[in-house]
Amino acid sequence: MREILIVGGGYAGFYTAWGLEKSLRVGEARVTVVDPRPYMTYQPFLPEVTAGSVEARHAAVSLRRHLRRTRLIAGSVTEVRHADRAVTVRPADGNDFELSYDILVVTAGAVTRTFPIPGLAQHAIGLKHVEEAVAIRDRLLTAFDQAASLPPGAERRKLLTVTFVGGGFSGVEGFGELLSLATATLKYYPELSAADLSFHLVEARDRILPEVSDGPGEWVVRSLERRGAQVHLNAQLVSAVDGHVVLSTGEEFDSELIVWTAGNASNPVVRRHTDLPVDERGLLVVRPDLRVGPDSEPLPDVWAAGDDAAVPDLALPIPGARTVPNAQHAVRQGRLLAKNIAAGLHGGRVRNYRHGSLGVVATLGLGRGIFQYRSIVIKGFPAWLMHRGYHVLAVPTWERKIRVLSVWLTAALFGRDLVSLASVQHPRDAFVTSGDPHTASLSGADHGRA
């Protein structure tokens, strides 16, 4: 029986395994997925997770629940040696081990791109995983509780200052949703006012949302500024030491919450620890049919898709164009990948990946959005409805669709839940201190063992 090994259980990996379960005959091949997380993150929902509009678990699709005939290994692939048809796996616990394969599928996914900025690693948080989105929301709501007990001044101002670095879709959506949450939360805190809130969006280029044209991008900036936000264009983060933000424009301010969404980088395993061909950006060289290798000589039995694959974009009349790394392409590439692998095993014909954009849609907070398809632009509430409608259809499985819809309907009736559960990050505190605030500092040393 053939061994099909899928490196990564994100969009492309999940849909490849899901499709193979439907396409392969019983006993024809064993499919194995290696991923450190037991779920696929539906990343378009992460901004709404930060705002409490989507429950965290509903943005995570369980691999074991939906991949019933796939072997799942909790671990990370640290090296790929196609010359030996083997990979090295580092499990969550225990020693590294090797896995052999007949067919390899690389869908490892990108990682957050960071820079050696002073204070960034110590104070910033990303927005790529469910855990990060939950932590961002909890930190903001906890800051409200803390600020309400303080007199007006620098400490209160810092607690209620939020900084997002990166003006792409992830940054703008997360920023808009968190701004919406903060504004709605104010009415429950009579001690605070809108003047206490300070939201900053920092973008190195001269515009945000490069996926939309100039006019809609400028409208988004004006919309955010009308809601009290400050958008810093042509600005870079220079330092974040102790939460003190310094920008390249000379502006400085203290910020309790710093969220880094300034782009992605190829997975280090793909970039540095494989004998597969990669391009100058560290992405796998991929043919239009998703086989790895140049057009002249594809590697046998190696496929790739998603953020780490430089897939030719046949829908664009531009030589050398590559598909952009987004969920829309990763899902469709994963589906085609499963069909092409099955076709190769059954003696069928593999097909090239060709998919034109369906347009771009973004949420900017509750009841606000932007949509563009070519010259068609829709703003405000209709675009927000389109965003919700598209993503509830796109999230995999009916079980997840129904769960998300139920939360949205509940929120429409009763509003968003404003409870912070930041204490779950240190679950042993109450046990260690026995509720005595005088011994609370003793639990700090135990956080690493909680």
Amino acid at 116: P
Question: Residues 298-310: pLDDT tens digits?
Answer: 899 999 999 999 9
Q: Residue 447 — very low, low, confident or very high, per pLDDT cuts 50/70/90?
A: very low
| pLDDT exceeds 90 at position 237 | yes
Which of 216-248 are b and which e, b meaning 16 or more Cβ less than 10 Å from the residue's Cβ?
bbebbbebbeebebebbeebbbbebeebebbbe
Mean pLDDT of the chain: 91
Residue 186 pLDDT exceeds 60: yes
| Residues paired with residue 30 on neighbouring β-strands, in sequence order | 3
Q: Which of these ranges, 96-100, 204-208, 408-412, 418-422, has the smallest mean pLDDT?
A: 418-422
Span 180-185, mean pLDDT?
95
Q: Kindly state the average pLDDT of the residues 394-398.
A: 88
Tell me: pLDDT of 147 over 90: yes
**Residue that wins the pLDDT comparison between 417 and 48:** 48
**Mean pLDDT of all residues in 166-187:** 95
What is the predicted pLDDT for the residue at 317?
81
Does residue 435 carry a pLDDT above 80?
Answer: no
Does the pLDDT of residue 440 top 70, yes or no? no
Q: What is the pLDDT of residue 442?
A: 47
What does the pLDDT read at residue 202? 98
Reading the block at residue 382, the tokens are 């209709």
Least confident of 118-122, 134-138, 354-358: 354-358
How far is CA 25 from each of CA 1, 257, 448, rounded to the nearest angstrom?
11, 51, 47
**What was the pLDDT predicted at 441?**
52
User: What percent helix, strand, coil does the chain show, rounded to 5?
Assistant: 40, 25, 35
Specify the range with the lowest mean pLDDT, choosing from 110-124, 298-312, 404-418. Answer: 404-418
Nearest to 120 by CA among 264, 258, 262: 258
The percent of residues in the chain predicted with pLDDT above 90, rounded, is 77
pLDDT tens-digit profile of 343-392?
999 999 999 999 877 789 999 999 999 999 989 999 999 999 999 999 99
Radius of gyration of the chain, Cα coordinates, nearest whole angstrom? 23
Confidence of residue 114 (pLDDT cuts 50, 70, 90): confident
What's the CA angle centered on 219, arms 327 and 201, to 5 degrees? 70
- Say if residue 228's pLDDT is above 80: yes
CB atoms within 10 A of CB 279: 12
Confidence of residue 397 (pLDDT cuts 50, 70, 90): confident
Burial class (CB in 10 A: 0-12, 13-18, 19+), 441: exposed
Residue 33's closest CA among 46, 54, 16? Answer: 16
Residue 200 vs residue 298, higher pLDDT: 200
What pLDDT score was predicted for residue 364?
A: 95
Give pLDDT tens digits for 307-346. Answer: 999 999 998 888 888 998 888 899 999 999 999 999 999 9
Q: What is the pLDDT of residues 14-46, one digit of tens each?
A: 999 999 999 998 889 999 999 999 999 999 999
User: C-alpha dihedral over 160, 165, 170, 173, to 10 degrees?
Assistant: 40
Q: What pLDDT is stored for residue 439 in this prediction?
A: 65
Per-residue pLDDT at 446 exceeds 80: no
pLDDT bin (cut points 50, 70, 90) of residue 189 is very high
Res. 429: pLDDT tops 90: no
The kind and range of the H/E element at 172 are helix 169-185
